[in-house]
Amino acid sequence: MTKKKTRTEDAAKIVFHVEDLTKTYQMGEVQVHALRGANMELYEGEMVILLGPSGSGKSTLLNILGGLDTATSGLVVYRDKNLTKANEQELTEYRRFHVGFVFQFYNLISSLTARENVAVVTEISKNPMSPDDALELVGLTERMDHFPAQLSGGEQQRVAIARAISKNPQVLLCDEPTGALDSETGIVVLEALERINRELGTATAIITHNVDIAGMADRVIHLSNGVISEVSINKTKKSPGELHW
């Protein structure tokens, strides 16, 4: 608890600073206000869960943090970089060198083996770990030469995590990483994420609508209706193994 406080005080340790962020989509003739002035921060090494029902704006927030989407107004600063002002090329570079992504549907390249799916990222990164090491971190050493079609859903998601962390990113963004998995497999995936966060100190933000997962986070950011309604701090973090849903 105290440890967290010191972090809050130290501005240099802030990974993301989000201020009055709004996002409006034009859906045909209707304007959809996905974000209506969100404020938040993400600190080095912490694990945050973004929790909210569908339509709450959590995916939009994550997409903007990840450089996949641009805000309508407001400010997003990554380290000392203003993402709201970044152009397409800068965003690509940002994604390439700083952010790791994990998707709900894994999005592996089906024509590449597990190792190659990781290599696809390490080949373009500045200071990556080896694909073998990354896969070892998620416990897939044995299955490195298998193609996605030969892996279970949980295994595929762990490959995706290995791929995401292999570039040694500052931040790991996960969009419903367990959404397509049963709970048992989901827990294995969460364990991998927890281990990365613990061992590498990578700041991790996980989107979910599953309240039960929130127990493993340092902080839980609740979203509803495009604003952050509540930020709660877990006094005691649960290990993924203790979660049930």
Partner 1 sequence: MKTLDRKLWRDLWHMKGQVFAITLVIMSGVATFVMFITTMDSLEYTRTKFYRDYNFADAFVHLRRAPESLIEKIKDIEGVRQAETRVVAQVKLDISGFNEPVNARIISIPDGDKPLLNGIYIRRGSLPDPTKDNEVVISENFAHAHNLNIGDQFAAIISGKWKKMKICGIALSPEFVLMMKPEAMSPDFKRYGVLWMNRKALSEAYDMDGAFNSVVLTLQPQARLSDVLRAIDNVVGKYGGFGAYGRKDQISHRLLSEEFKQLKTSSKIFPSIFIFVSAFLLNVVMSRTINTQREQIAALKAFGYGNYDVGVHYAKLVVLIIAAGLASGIACGIWFGHILGDIYMAVYRFPYLVYILKPWVIIAAVFVSVFSALAGTMHTLWRAAKQPPAEAMRPEPPAQFKVSLLEKIGLGRKITQPSKIIMRNIERKPIRTLLSIIGISLACGTMIASGFFKDAVDYMIKVQFVLSQKEDMSVSFFDLTSRRALYELQQIDGVQYVETYRIVPVKFINGHRSYKTVIKGMEPDSRLQFLLDTNLKKVTLPSSGLMLTDHLAKLLHVRPGDKLTIEVLEGSRATREVTVVALVKQYLGVTGYMDLSSLNRLMNTGDSVSGAYLVTDKNKQGKLFLDFIKTPRVSGTVVRANEITNFYEIQAKGMLFFTFIATLMACFISFGVVYNNARIAFSERSRELSSLRVLGYTRGEISYILLGELALITFIAIPVGFALGYWLCAYLAYALASDLFRVPLIISSKTFSMAALVVLVSASVSGLIVRHKLDHLDLVEVLKTRE
Q: Rule CB under 8 A: choose which of 73, 82, 92, 229 binds partner 1.
A: 92
- Region binding partner 1 by CB under 8 A among candidate stretches 3-11, 50-58, 105-113, 215-223: 105-113
Return d(Cα 16, Cα 14) in angstroms, integer. Answer: 6
Residue 170, both tokens? 């500052």
Residue 134, both tokens? 């990354």
Return d(Cα 86, Cα 3) in angstroms, integer. Answer: 33
CA-based nearest residue to 242, from 214, 219, 218, 222: 214
Q: Rule CB under 8 A: choose which of 36, 96, 143, 238 binds partner 1.
A: 96
CA-based nearest residue to 164, from 209, 139, 201, 196: 196
Return d(Cα 187, Cα 243) in angstroms, integer. Answer: 8
How far from 20 is each of 36, 68, 135, 235, CA to CA, in Å?
A: 8, 19, 38, 28
Q: Is 185 in the site for partner 1 (CB under 8 A)?
A: no
Q: Rule CB under 8 A: choose which of 4, 39, 44, 103 binds partner 1.
A: 103
Q: How far is the CB of 123 from partner 1 (least distance, A)?
A: 6
Count of C-beta atoms within a 10 Å radius of residue 243? 19
Q: How far is the CB of 217 from partner 1 (least distance, A)?
A: 23
CA end-to-end span of the chain: 27
Q: Which is nearer to partner 1, 148 or 154 (CB)?
A: 148
Q: How far is the CB of 147 from partner 1 (least distance, A)?
A: 5
Q: Is 63 in the site for partner 1 (CB under 8 A)?
A: yes
Q: 161 and 192 in contact (C-beta within 8 Å)? A: yes
SS3 content of the chain, % helix, strand, coil (to 5): 40, 30, 35
Q: Is 69 in the site for partner 1 (CB under 8 A)?
A: yes
Q: Is 32 in the site for partner 1 (CB under 8 A)?
A: no
Q: How far is the CB of 245 from partner 1 (least distance, A)?
A: 21
Q: 76 and 17 in contact (C-beta within 8 Å)? A: yes
Residue 226, both tokens? 């495009």
Q: 175 and 104 in contact (C-beta within 8 Å)? A: yes
Q: How far is the CB of 113 from partner 1 (least distance, A)?
A: 8
Q: How far is the CB of 174 from partner 1 (least distance, A)?
A: 12
Q: How far is the CB of 145 from partner 1 (least distance, A)?
A: 9
Query: Between 140 and 179, how does the x/- string for binding to partner 1 read (CB under 8 A)?
Result: -------xxx------x------x---x-------x----
Q: Which is nearer to partner 1, 43 or 86 (CB)?
A: 86
- Binding site residues, partner 1, CB under 8 A: 59, 63, 66, 68-69, 89, 92-93, 95-97, 99, 101, 103-105, 107-113, 116, 119-121, 123-125, 147-149, 156, 163, 167, 175, 180
